[in-house]
Amino acid sequence: MAVFNIEIICRKCSKCEFIELKLREAIRQLEYKYQTKIDYELKINEDLREMNKFALSASQRPVVVVNGNVEFAGRIMTRFLKSKLDSILKGF
């Protein structure tokens, strides 16, 4: 199984910490569902200039980038995290 590179672009705040927690929880649920270990690297990038690479403004934070693709920006509905990660996982 390939390694997920997950990056949260946002200044360290309670919103970003919550998203990080929910991402880790969604990955644990997928590991349980598929009975396999999902290798992932999660980092929080506080440099908001990185958002310019994806043509996003600072008002659209937090941004979740998975394997170089923006998957979520702005208001993140946590109920969609697991299904989105599941669909990305199926693409590997």
The answer to whether residues 17 and 68 touch, using CB atoms and an 8 Å cutoff, is no
Domains in the chain (CATH in brackets) are: 4-90 (3.40.30.10)
pTM: 0.88
What are the tens digits of pLDDT across the range 14-40?
888 999 999 999 999 999 999 999 999
Q: What is the mean pLDDT of the chain?
A: 90
Checking if the pLDDT of 92 tops 80, the result is no
Which residues neighbour 68 within 8 Å (Cβ) at sequence distance 6 or greater? 5
Residue 1's pLDDT is 55
What are the tens digits of pLDDT across the range 38-68?
999 999 999 989 999 999 988 888 999 999 9
Helical ranges in the chain per DSSP H: 14-34, 81-90
Dist. CA 88–CA 84, nearest whole Å: 6
